[in-house]
Structure 1
Amino acid sequence: MKLSPLHWWDELKRFWLLYHLGDSRFRFMWDEPPPDEWVALDCETTGLNVHRDQIISIGAVRIAGDRILASQRLELLVRPSRAISPDAVRVHGLRERDVAQGLDPDAAMMRLMRFIGSRPLVGYYLEFDVAMVDRAIFPLLGMGLPQRKIEVSAMYYEYKLRQLPPYRHGASIDLRFSTIMEELGLPERHAHDALNDAVMAALAFVKLRHLLKQS
Protein backbone atom coordinates (compact mmCIF):
# COMPACT_ATOMS: atom_id res chain seq x y z
CA MET A 1 0.00 0.00 0.00
CA LYS A 2 1.39 3.37 -1.03
CA LEU A 3 1.63 5.88 1.85
CA SER A 4 0.50 9.48 1.45
CA PRO A 5 3.26 12.12 1.92
CA LEU A 6 1.78 13.07 5.32
CA HIS A 7 1.56 9.44 6.49
CA TRP A 8 5.07 8.79 5.19
CA TRP A 9 6.38 11.76 7.18
CA ASP A 10 4.57 10.56 10.34
CA GLU A 11 6.10 7.11 9.98
CA LEU A 12 9.58 8.58 9.45
CA LYS A 13 9.18 10.77 12.53
CA ARG A 14 7.95 7.78 14.56
CA PHE A 15 10.97 5.70 13.45
CA TRP A 16 13.37 8.54 14.36
CA LEU A 17 11.82 8.98 17.81
CA LEU A 18 11.86 5.25 18.56
CA TYR A 19 15.47 5.04 17.42
CA HIS A 20 16.42 7.76 19.93
CA LEU A 21 14.14 6.51 22.73
CA GLY A 22 16.07 6.38 26.00
CA ASP A 23 14.18 3.39 27.47
CA SER A 24 12.91 0.77 25.01
CA ARG A 25 10.40 -0.54 27.59
CA PHE A 26 8.17 2.40 26.64
CA ARG A 27 7.99 1.74 22.89
CA PHE A 28 4.31 0.88 23.41
CA MET A 29 3.50 4.59 23.69
CA TRP A 30 4.06 4.83 19.91
CA ASP A 31 1.66 1.97 19.10
CA GLU A 32 -1.68 2.60 17.44
CA PRO A 33 -4.03 3.71 20.25
CA PRO A 34 -7.01 1.53 21.16
CA PRO A 35 -10.01 2.75 19.13
CA ASP A 36 -12.23 5.27 20.91
CA GLU A 37 -10.10 5.41 24.05
CA TRP A 38 -8.52 8.41 25.73
CA VAL A 39 -6.94 9.36 29.06
CA ALA A 40 -7.96 12.53 30.91
CA LEU A 41 -4.99 13.93 32.84
CA ASP A 42 -4.40 16.57 35.49
CA CYS A 43 -1.44 17.45 37.72
CA GLU A 44 -0.92 19.59 40.80
CA THR A 45 2.50 21.17 41.21
CA THR A 46 4.81 23.08 43.55
CA GLY A 47 4.12 26.23 41.51
CA LEU A 48 3.37 27.46 38.00
CA ASN A 49 6.87 27.75 36.53
CA VAL A 50 7.27 24.91 34.02
CA HIS A 51 11.06 25.32 34.04
CA ARG A 52 11.52 25.17 37.80
CA ASP A 53 8.51 23.68 39.59
CA GLN A 54 7.66 20.01 40.02
CA ILE A 55 4.66 17.68 40.02
CA ILE A 56 3.31 16.67 43.43
CA SER A 57 0.01 15.01 42.46
CA ILE A 58 -1.26 13.18 39.37
CA GLY A 59 -4.83 12.27 38.52
CA ALA A 60 -5.84 10.36 35.40
CA VAL A 61 -8.88 8.39 34.23
CA ARG A 62 -9.53 6.37 31.10
CA ILE A 63 -12.38 7.10 28.70
CA ALA A 64 -13.88 4.49 26.37
CA GLY A 65 -16.43 5.75 23.88
CA ASP A 66 -19.07 7.58 25.93
CA ARG A 67 -18.03 6.02 29.23
CA ILE A 68 -15.68 7.33 31.87
CA LEU A 69 -14.06 4.25 33.39
CA ALA A 70 -13.98 5.24 37.04
CA SER A 71 -12.50 1.86 37.95
CA GLN A 72 -9.55 2.55 35.62
CA ARG A 73 -8.09 5.60 37.28
CA LEU A 74 -4.69 6.66 38.55
CA GLU A 75 -4.15 8.83 41.62
CA LEU A 76 -0.58 9.43 42.77
CA LEU A 77 1.23 11.66 45.23
CA VAL A 78 4.76 12.55 44.17
CA ARG A 79 7.59 13.55 46.47
CA PRO A 80 9.23 16.77 45.15
CA SER A 81 12.80 17.88 45.72
CA ARG A 82 11.84 21.54 46.10
CA ALA A 83 9.53 23.42 48.42
CA ILE A 84 5.86 23.92 47.59
CA SER A 85 5.11 27.62 47.19
CA PRO A 86 2.54 29.14 49.60
CA ASP A 87 0.48 30.30 46.62
CA ALA A 88 0.31 26.72 45.32
CA VAL A 89 -0.72 25.38 48.74
CA ARG A 90 -3.59 27.89 48.81
CA VAL A 91 -4.78 26.52 45.46
CA HIS A 92 -4.59 22.75 45.92
CA GLY A 93 -4.14 22.40 49.70
CA LEU A 94 -1.21 19.99 49.46
CA ARG A 95 1.56 20.72 51.95
CA GLU A 96 5.07 19.30 52.03
CA ARG A 97 4.13 16.89 54.81
CA ASP A 98 1.19 15.65 52.71
CA VAL A 99 3.49 14.50 49.90
CA ALA A 100 6.55 13.52 51.98
CA GLN A 101 5.67 9.82 51.59
CA GLY A 102 4.80 10.17 47.92
CA LEU A 103 6.43 8.26 45.09
CA ASP A 104 9.85 9.08 43.74
CA PRO A 105 9.27 11.22 40.59
CA ASP A 106 10.79 8.61 38.24
CA ALA A 107 8.61 5.84 39.70
CA ALA A 108 5.52 8.06 39.37
CA MET A 109 6.31 8.87 35.74
CA MET A 110 6.78 5.19 34.90
CA ARG A 111 3.39 4.35 36.39
CA LEU A 112 1.79 7.25 34.52
CA MET A 113 3.29 6.25 31.16
CA ARG A 114 2.12 2.65 31.58
CA PHE A 115 -1.37 3.87 32.51
CA ILE A 116 -1.62 6.16 29.47
CA GLY A 117 -0.20 3.68 26.97
CA SER A 118 -0.68 5.09 23.47
CA ARG A 119 -4.05 6.69 24.20
CA PRO A 120 -4.59 10.36 23.28
CA LEU A 121 -4.60 12.77 26.21
CA VAL A 122 -7.51 14.98 27.26
CA GLY A 123 -7.44 17.86 29.72
CA TYR A 124 -8.18 21.44 30.65
CA TYR A 125 -5.13 23.71 30.33
CA LEU A 126 -3.46 20.48 29.20
CA GLU A 127 -0.45 22.29 27.75
CA PHE A 128 0.79 23.08 31.26
CA ASP A 129 0.31 19.52 32.57
CA VAL A 130 2.04 18.01 29.56
CA ALA A 131 4.94 20.45 29.85
CA MET A 132 5.41 19.43 33.49
CA VAL A 133 5.24 15.71 32.65
CA ASP A 134 7.57 16.12 29.66
CA ARG A 135 10.21 17.75 31.84
CA ALA A 136 9.91 14.94 34.38
CA ILE A 137 10.19 12.13 31.82
CA PHE A 138 12.89 13.66 29.65
CA PRO A 139 15.72 12.15 31.75
CA LEU A 140 14.08 8.73 31.28
CA LEU A 141 13.12 8.85 27.61
CA GLY A 142 15.13 11.68 26.10
CA MET A 143 11.86 13.12 24.78
CA GLY A 144 8.33 14.04 25.84
CA LEU A 145 4.95 12.33 25.56
CA PRO A 146 4.15 11.42 21.94
CA GLN A 147 0.38 11.02 22.31
CA ARG A 148 -2.11 13.32 20.60
CA LYS A 149 -3.36 16.05 22.96
CA ILE A 150 -6.97 17.30 23.07
CA GLU A 151 -7.74 20.55 24.89
CA VAL A 152 -11.25 20.70 26.36
CA SER A 153 -11.38 24.51 26.33
CA ALA A 154 -10.61 24.50 22.58
CA MET A 155 -13.48 22.06 21.99
CA TYR A 156 -15.78 24.28 24.05
CA TYR A 157 -14.64 27.39 22.15
CA GLU A 158 -15.42 25.70 18.82
CA TYR A 159 -18.83 24.61 20.08
CA LYS A 160 -19.76 28.10 21.34
CA LEU A 161 -18.47 29.71 18.15
CA ARG A 162 -20.82 27.54 16.12
CA GLN A 163 -23.76 28.88 18.17
CA LEU A 164 -22.93 32.51 17.31
CA PRO A 165 -24.07 34.27 14.14
CA PRO A 166 -21.14 35.11 11.81
CA TYR A 167 -21.21 38.82 12.72
CA ARG A 168 -20.49 37.91 16.37
CA HIS A 169 -17.55 35.58 15.74
CA GLY A 170 -15.21 38.06 17.40
CA ALA A 171 -17.21 37.96 20.63
CA SER A 172 -15.48 36.98 23.85
CA ILE A 173 -16.15 33.42 25.10
CA ASP A 174 -15.65 32.62 28.78
CA LEU A 175 -13.28 29.63 28.96
CA ARG A 176 -13.08 29.27 32.74
CA PHE A 177 -13.46 25.64 33.80
CA SER A 178 -16.37 26.42 36.14
CA THR A 179 -18.17 28.23 33.31
CA ILE A 180 -17.65 25.33 30.92
CA MET A 181 -19.02 22.82 33.43
CA GLU A 182 -22.03 25.01 34.22
CA GLU A 183 -22.83 25.73 30.57
CA LEU A 184 -22.65 22.02 29.75
CA GLY A 185 -24.88 21.11 32.71
CA LEU A 186 -22.23 18.89 34.24
CA PRO A 187 -21.63 18.25 37.96
CA GLU A 188 -18.65 20.04 39.49
CA ARG A 189 -16.36 18.24 41.91
CA HIS A 190 -14.00 19.98 44.31
CA ALA A 191 -11.56 21.76 41.98
CA HIS A 192 -7.76 21.69 42.15
CA ASP A 193 -7.73 18.05 43.16
CA ALA A 194 -5.88 16.21 40.37
CA LEU A 195 -8.26 13.25 40.06
CA ASN A 196 -11.39 15.42 40.37
CA ASP A 197 -10.11 17.77 37.68
CA ALA A 198 -9.27 14.83 35.40
CA VAL A 199 -12.77 13.38 35.85
CA MET A 200 -14.41 16.77 35.15
CA ALA A 201 -12.29 17.19 32.00
CA ALA A 202 -13.37 13.70 30.93
CA LEU A 203 -17.05 14.57 31.47
CA ALA A 204 -16.69 17.77 29.46
CA PHE A 205 -14.86 15.94 26.66
CA VAL A 206 -17.55 13.27 26.30
CA LYS A 207 -20.34 15.88 26.30
CA LEU A 208 -18.55 18.16 23.83
CA ARG A 209 -17.85 15.30 21.43
CA HIS A 210 -21.60 14.73 21.17
CA LEU A 211 -22.45 18.42 20.86
CA LEU A 212 -19.86 19.03 18.15
CA LYS A 213 -21.14 16.04 16.15
CA GLN A 214 -24.68 17.44 16.35
CA SER A 215 -23.88 21.07 15.54
Structure 2
Amino acid sequence: MPDTTLDHLGAPKGGWLGALKRQWLLYHLGDPRYRFMWDPAPPQEWVSIDCETTGLDRRRDEIIAIGAVRIHGNRILTSERLELLVRPDKRRVSADSVRVHQLREQDLAAAMSIDEALPRLLHFIGSRPLVGYFLEFDVAMIDRALFPMLGMGLPQPRIEVSALYYEFKDRQRPPLERGRDVDLRFATMMRELGLPLRDAHDAVNDAIMAALAFVKLRNLR
Protein backbone atom coordinates (compact mmCIF):
# COMPACT_ATOMS: atom_id res chain seq x y z
CA MET A 1 0.00 0.00 0.00
CA PRO A 2 1.14 3.62 -0.54
CA ASP A 3 2.97 5.29 2.34
CA THR A 4 0.80 7.50 4.55
CA THR A 5 3.22 7.90 7.45
CA LEU A 6 3.87 11.61 6.98
CA ASP A 7 2.30 12.48 10.30
CA HIS A 8 -0.39 10.35 8.67
CA LEU A 9 -2.11 13.52 7.58
CA GLY A 10 0.63 15.45 5.92
CA ALA A 11 2.88 17.12 8.46
CA PRO A 12 6.48 16.73 7.32
CA LYS A 13 8.75 14.66 9.52
CA GLY A 14 11.21 16.74 11.55
CA GLY A 15 14.60 16.03 13.02
CA TRP A 16 18.09 16.85 11.87
CA LEU A 17 17.92 14.51 8.89
CA GLY A 18 14.89 16.37 7.57
CA ALA A 19 16.63 19.71 8.06
CA LEU A 20 19.76 18.44 6.33
CA LYS A 21 17.77 17.15 3.36
CA ARG A 22 15.92 20.47 3.12
CA GLN A 23 19.20 22.41 2.99
CA TRP A 24 20.62 20.05 0.37
CA LEU A 25 17.53 20.43 -1.83
CA LEU A 26 17.49 24.22 -1.49
CA TYR A 27 21.18 24.37 -2.41
CA HIS A 28 20.49 22.39 -5.60
CA LEU A 29 17.20 24.12 -6.46
CA GLY A 30 17.30 25.21 -10.09
CA ASP A 31 15.21 28.36 -9.57
CA PRO A 32 15.41 30.15 -6.17
CA ARG A 33 12.04 31.82 -6.76
CA TYR A 34 10.45 28.54 -5.64
CA ARG A 35 12.12 28.31 -2.23
CA PHE A 36 8.70 28.93 -0.72
CA MET A 37 7.80 25.28 -1.31
CA TRP A 38 10.10 24.38 1.60
CA ASP A 39 8.50 26.88 4.00
CA PRO A 40 6.49 25.52 6.95
CA ALA A 41 3.05 24.52 5.69
CA PRO A 42 0.07 26.59 6.85
CA PRO A 43 -1.52 24.66 9.74
CA GLN A 44 -4.45 22.43 8.86
CA GLU A 45 -4.13 23.09 5.13
CA TRP A 46 -3.67 20.69 2.23
CA VAL A 47 -4.07 20.73 -1.55
CA SER A 48 -5.89 17.95 -3.39
CA ILE A 49 -4.65 17.53 -6.96
CA ASP A 50 -5.45 15.48 -10.04
CA CYS A 51 -4.10 15.37 -13.60
CA GLU A 52 -5.53 14.15 -16.87
CA THR A 53 -2.98 12.91 -19.40
CA THR A 54 -2.58 11.77 -22.99
CA GLY A 55 -2.11 8.22 -21.69
CA LEU A 56 -0.69 6.16 -18.84
CA ASP A 57 2.98 5.98 -19.85
CA ARG A 58 4.83 8.01 -17.22
CA ARG A 59 7.92 8.34 -19.43
CA ARG A 60 6.30 9.53 -22.65
CA ASP A 61 2.72 10.75 -22.10
CA GLU A 62 1.92 14.34 -21.19
CA ILE A 63 -0.36 16.28 -18.87
CA ILE A 64 -3.37 17.88 -20.57
CA ALA A 65 -5.38 19.06 -17.53
CA ILE A 66 -4.61 19.90 -13.91
CA GLY A 67 -7.20 20.31 -11.19
CA ALA A 68 -6.44 21.34 -7.61
CA VAL A 69 -8.45 22.50 -4.62
CA ARG A 70 -7.36 23.73 -1.21
CA ILE A 71 -8.52 22.13 2.03
CA HIS A 72 -8.60 24.07 5.30
CA GLY A 73 -9.53 21.97 8.33
CA ASN A 74 -12.79 20.29 7.38
CA ARG A 75 -13.60 22.79 4.64
CA ILE A 76 -12.97 22.22 0.95
CA LEU A 77 -12.41 25.63 -0.60
CA THR A 78 -13.94 25.08 -4.03
CA SER A 79 -13.95 28.83 -4.60
CA GLU A 80 -10.12 28.65 -4.50
CA ARG A 81 -9.74 25.83 -6.97
CA LEU A 82 -7.23 25.74 -9.81
CA GLU A 83 -8.32 24.45 -13.23
CA LEU A 84 -5.79 24.40 -16.06
CA LEU A 85 -5.90 22.99 -19.58
CA VAL A 86 -2.47 22.16 -20.97
CA ARG A 87 -1.46 21.82 -24.59
CA PRO A 88 0.60 18.64 -25.18
CA ASP A 89 3.95 19.29 -26.77
CA LYS A 90 4.83 15.98 -28.45
CA ARG A 91 2.23 13.31 -27.73
CA ARG A 92 -1.06 13.10 -29.57
CA VAL A 93 -4.24 12.64 -27.53
CA SER A 94 -5.19 9.03 -28.18
CA ALA A 95 -8.74 7.92 -28.89
CA ASP A 96 -8.66 5.83 -25.71
CA SER A 97 -7.75 8.82 -23.56
CA VAL A 98 -10.43 10.98 -25.20
CA ARG A 99 -13.01 8.37 -24.23
CA VAL A 100 -11.83 8.68 -20.64
CA HIS A 101 -11.58 12.44 -20.12
CA GLN A 102 -13.46 13.83 -23.16
CA LEU A 103 -10.65 16.22 -24.06
CA ARG A 104 -9.82 16.27 -27.78
CA GLU A 105 -6.83 17.83 -29.49
CA GLN A 106 -8.97 20.70 -30.76
CA ASP A 107 -10.08 21.38 -27.17
CA LEU A 108 -6.43 21.86 -26.22
CA ALA A 109 -5.20 23.82 -29.25
CA ALA A 110 -5.43 27.16 -27.44
CA ALA A 111 -4.49 25.83 -24.00
CA MET A 112 -1.39 26.96 -22.11
CA SER A 113 1.93 25.17 -22.34
CA ILE A 114 3.18 23.05 -19.46
CA ASP A 115 5.86 25.71 -18.85
CA GLU A 116 3.08 28.25 -18.26
CA ALA A 117 0.99 25.87 -16.15
CA LEU A 118 3.66 24.72 -13.71
CA PRO A 119 4.39 28.10 -12.05
CA ARG A 120 0.68 28.60 -11.48
CA LEU A 121 0.40 25.16 -9.92
CA LEU A 122 3.43 25.63 -7.68
CA HIS A 123 2.18 28.97 -6.36
CA PHE A 124 -1.26 27.46 -5.75
CA ILE A 125 0.21 24.57 -3.76
CA GLY A 126 2.80 26.57 -1.87
CA SER A 127 4.23 24.35 0.87
CA ARG A 128 0.95 22.56 1.62
CA PRO A 129 0.94 18.75 1.73
CA LEU A 130 -0.59 17.05 -1.29
CA VAL A 131 -3.70 14.87 -1.23
CA GLY A 132 -4.88 12.63 -4.03
CA TYR A 133 -6.31 9.35 -5.23
CA PHE A 134 -3.50 7.19 -6.64
CA LEU A 135 -1.43 10.32 -6.28
CA GLU A 136 1.83 8.62 -7.24
CA PHE A 137 0.98 8.75 -10.94
CA ASP A 138 -0.03 12.43 -10.91
CA VAL A 139 3.08 13.46 -9.00
CA ALA A 140 5.30 11.40 -11.31
CA MET A 141 3.84 13.21 -14.33
CA ILE A 142 4.28 16.62 -12.69
CA ASP A 143 7.80 15.81 -11.52
CA ARG A 144 8.89 14.77 -15.00
CA ALA A 145 7.71 18.10 -16.41
CA LEU A 146 9.13 20.01 -13.45
CA PHE A 147 12.63 18.54 -13.45
CA PRO A 148 14.01 20.65 -16.35
CA MET A 149 12.82 23.76 -14.51
CA LEU A 150 13.92 22.99 -10.92
CA GLY A 151 16.26 20.03 -11.21
CA MET A 152 13.98 18.13 -8.80
CA GLY A 153 10.37 17.20 -8.22
CA LEU A 154 7.71 18.34 -5.79
CA PRO A 155 9.02 18.34 -2.19
CA GLN A 156 5.68 18.46 -0.37
CA PRO A 157 4.52 15.54 1.80
CA ARG A 158 1.90 13.35 0.10
CA ILE A 159 -1.21 11.69 1.44
CA GLU A 160 -2.68 8.80 -0.53
CA VAL A 161 -6.45 8.68 -0.05
CA SER A 162 -6.77 5.06 -1.19
CA ALA A 163 -4.27 4.03 1.52
CA LEU A 164 -6.24 5.91 4.20
CA TYR A 165 -9.38 4.16 2.97
CA TYR A 166 -7.65 0.76 3.04
CA GLU A 167 -6.59 1.31 6.65
CA PHE A 168 -10.10 2.44 7.59
CA LYS A 169 -11.70 -0.68 6.06
CA ASP A 170 -9.03 -2.98 7.48
CA ARG A 171 -9.59 -1.69 11.02
CA GLN A 172 -13.24 -2.73 10.76
CA ARG A 173 -12.31 -6.39 10.25
CA PRO A 174 -11.73 -9.01 12.95
CA PRO A 175 -8.00 -9.28 13.75
CA LEU A 176 -7.58 -12.60 11.93
CA GLU A 177 -9.03 -11.15 8.71
CA ARG A 178 -6.90 -8.04 8.54
CA GLY A 179 -4.46 -7.53 5.70
CA ARG A 180 -6.74 -8.84 2.98
CA ASP A 181 -7.54 -7.00 -0.23
CA VAL A 182 -9.96 -4.07 -0.25
CA ASP A 183 -11.88 -2.77 -3.27
CA LEU A 184 -10.09 0.55 -3.83
CA ARG A 185 -12.03 1.71 -6.87
CA PHE A 186 -12.93 5.39 -6.66
CA ALA A 187 -16.68 4.81 -7.04
CA THR A 188 -16.64 2.07 -4.38
CA MET A 189 -14.74 4.24 -1.93
CA MET A 190 -17.05 7.21 -2.39
CA ARG A 191 -20.14 5.03 -2.04
CA GLU A 192 -18.84 3.29 1.10
CA LEU A 193 -18.02 6.65 2.66
CA GLY A 194 -21.46 8.04 1.79
CA LEU A 195 -20.00 10.79 -0.38
CA PRO A 196 -21.35 12.25 -3.63
CA LEU A 197 -19.80 10.92 -6.82
CA ARG A 198 -19.17 13.68 -9.36
CA ASP A 199 -18.37 13.10 -13.03
CA ALA A 200 -15.07 11.22 -12.94
CA HIS A 201 -11.98 11.81 -15.10
CA ASP A 202 -12.42 15.56 -14.87
CA ALA A 203 -9.36 16.92 -13.09
CA VAL A 204 -11.19 19.36 -10.81
CA ASN A 205 -14.00 16.92 -10.01
CA ASP A 206 -11.50 14.19 -9.16
CA ALA A 207 -9.52 16.58 -6.95
CA ILE A 208 -12.70 17.61 -5.11
CA MET A 209 -13.79 14.00 -4.61
CA ALA A 210 -10.37 13.06 -3.26
CA ALA A 211 -10.60 16.05 -0.90
CA LEU A 212 -14.03 14.94 0.30
CA ALA A 213 -12.75 11.43 0.97
CA PHE A 214 -9.69 12.78 2.79
CA VAL A 215 -11.75 15.00 5.10
CA LYS A 216 -14.18 12.16 5.84
CA LEU A 217 -11.43 9.62 6.53
CA ARG A 218 -9.48 12.10 8.62
CA ASN A 219 -12.51 12.56 10.86
CA LEU A 220 -13.21 8.83 11.00
CA ARG A 221 -9.73 8.28 12.42
Residue 64 in structure 1 maps to residue 77 in structure 2: no
Residue 93 in structure 1 maps to residue 102 in structure 2: yes
1:104 Cα offset (Å): 1.1
Match of 1:27 among 10, 32, 35: 35
The SS at the match of 1:39 is: strand
CA distance in 2, matches of 1:161, 1:17: 37
Match of 2:173 among 154, 164, 180: 164
The SS at the match of 1:200 is: helix
1:167 Cα offset (Å): 1.1
CA distance in 2, matches of 1:33, 1:77: 27
Note the alpha carbon deviations across 1:131-173, whole angstroms, 9 max, x for none.
0000011111000000000000000000001100011114321
The SS at the match of 2:180 is: coil
**Structure 2-normalised TM-score?**
0.92
Match of 2:190 among 181, 185, 194: 181
Alignment match, 1:11: 19
The SS at the match of 1:138 is: helix
Alignment match, 1:117: 126
Alignment match, 1:201: 210
The SS at the match of 1:188 is: coil
Alignment match, 2:148: 139
The SS at the match of 1:9 is: helix
CA distance in 2, matches of 1:116, 1:165: 39
Q: Give the aligned residue type for 1:42.
A: D
Match of 1:102 among 111, 115, 119: 111
The SS at the match of 2:187 is: helix
1:86 Cα offset (Å): 1.4
Note the alpha carbon deviations across 1:95-118, whole angstroms, 9 max, x for none.
111111111111101100000000
1:128 Cα offset (Å): 0.1
Q: Give the aligned residue type for 1:65.
A: G
Alignment match, 1:38: 46
Residue 49 in structure 1 maps to residue 49 in structure 2: no
CA distance in 1, matches of 2:180, 2:149: 44
Alignment match, 2:3: none
CA distance in 2, matches of 1:208, 1:15: 33
Q: Give the aligned residue type for 1:140.
A: M
Q: Give the aligned residue type for 2:136.
A: E
Gaps of 5+ in 2: 1-13
CA distance in 1, matches of 2:185, 2:60: 25
Moved over 6 A (4+): none
**Structure 1-normalised TM-score?**
0.95
The SS at the match of 1:57 is: strand
